[in-house]
Amino acid sequence: MPQDTDPITPPGARHRLVDVPGARIHLVEQGTGPLVLLVHGFPELWSSWRHQLPALAAAGYRAVAVDVRGYGRSSAPGDVAAYRIGAHVRDNVAVVRALGEESAVIVGHDWGSTIATGSALLRPDVFTAVGMLGVPYAPRGGPRPSEVFAAIGGDEEFYVGHFQEPGRAEAEIERDVRGWLAGFYATLAGDTGPQQGEASVFFVPEGGRMADRFVARRPSWLTDVELDFVAAEFERTGFTGALNRYRSMDRDWEDLADFDGAPVVQPSLFVAGERDASLAWLAGAVEAFPRTLPGLVSSHLVEGCGHWVQQERPDEVNRLLLAWLASLDGAAPPDPQDTRERADRS
């Protein structure tokens, strides 16, 4: 298991492995108080929350960032069916219980946002509020997801379809894990993403690779040490576990048939980068918030920010998270400067 003194782990945070049904989940926790469970997206790790852990802890919360099953130090089952939404929800419930808690606020980014809203939808008794970063809640409905995404690309292949065939995307990514990650992060970042006239990375030309459309620029918010840490974990695990979440979308659609069109009613928060390219095809989900998220407290677009919102703009995201969390208890939000000073001292 990684050491608590590695260059990524915030001072005062600690690593744990906890048992969940048929697997183990690795997590990093910091602070005491009400539990806030943080769920990362693709292709990331618990470390995508490295800026939020100390800020939440300093504000009086028990912040816990997991490695989702298939990632990092968590178990990676071989069966694609082991990555359907119900399995992730059971993992999250088991983590809450293993930490000795009965309930938690859950916050997710990218695929983690979908896992977070699925957890809130299926287990409202455990997850009392939900925060979504980057990806809005979209209820189950309409055709199968594979049919929807197959129709998006036109003459080119939408990246979700590109990820479906086992081994195909792995062959591209794993030939140069660090280089692929660097390019993917840069291409979806606000400060380095495609400029006018540059093709979208989300569409893959016939016979081509996603990496063919990566930008060569380097994000200002990602250090070599941080990139090396994530790349080393994926070099060790490979990408199959991570990609299996994409390969489970139709299974989710089948499993959630009883929740067709169902809203998530708990208090919620949405934060996304104004330059997040994924919002182009998710705009309808945002427009539907009055119906799909009746408990929405606030929704924010961070100017000039791309997809990796909590890493690109950690101070702003921390401020929004803390204000929302305080609103759940009817308390005044903590002063951001005071929170930063306490985090620095922890």
Cβ(9)–Cβ(23) under 8 Å?
no
Q: Is 307 a catalytic residue?
A: yes
pLDDT at 153 over 90: no
Helix (H) or strand (E) holding 28: strand 23-30
Structure-block tokens of residue 54: 């100390």
Helix, strand, coil shares, percent, the chain, to 5: 40, 15, 40
Domains of the chain are 14-345 (3.40.50.1820)
pLDDT at position 151, please?
80
Q: Between 66 and 1, name the one with better pLDDT.
A: 66
Confidence of residue 150 (pLDDT cuts 50, 70, 90): confident
Helical pair 314-328 and 336-345, crossing angle rounded to 10 deg: 110
pLDDT at position 5, please?
62
The one catalytic residue among 26, 51, 88, 307: 307
Helical pair 85-98 and 111-122, crossing angle rounded to 10 deg: 70
pLDDT at position 193, please?
86
pLDDT at 138 over 80: yes
Confidence of residue 155 (pLDDT cuts 50, 70, 90): confident
Count of C-beta atoms within a 10 Å radius of residue 141: 11
- Considering the chain, what is the average pLDDT of its residues? 91
Non-local (6+) Cβ contacts of 51 within 8 A are: 310, 311, 314, 317, 318
Rounded to an integer, what is the distance from CA 129 to the centroid of its chain?
16
pLDDT at 338 over 70: no
pLDDT at position 114, please?
97
Structure-block tokens of residue 329: 């208890």
Q: Is 110 a catalytic residue?
A: yes
**Using alpha carbons only, how large is the chain's radius of gyration in Å?**
19
Distance (Å, rounded) from C-alpha 307 to C-alpha 189?
Answer: 6
Residue 186 three-state SS: helix
The one catalytic residue among 67, 110, 252, 276: 110
Cβ(192)–Cβ(218) under 8 Å?
yes
Confidence of residue 48 (pLDDT cuts 50, 70, 90): very high
- Average pLDDT of 237-246? 97
CA-nearest of 19, 115, 27 to 73 is 27
- Average pLDDT of 88-103? 98
pLDDT at position 208, please?
87
Length of the chain: 346
pLDDT at 58 over 70: yes
159-207: per-residue pLDDT in tens? 998 899 999 999 999 999 999 999 999 999 999 987 755 668 888 888 8
**Three-point CA angle 282, 109, 210, nearest 5°:** 65
Distance (Å, rounded) from C-alpha 64 to C-alpha 14?
Answer: 10
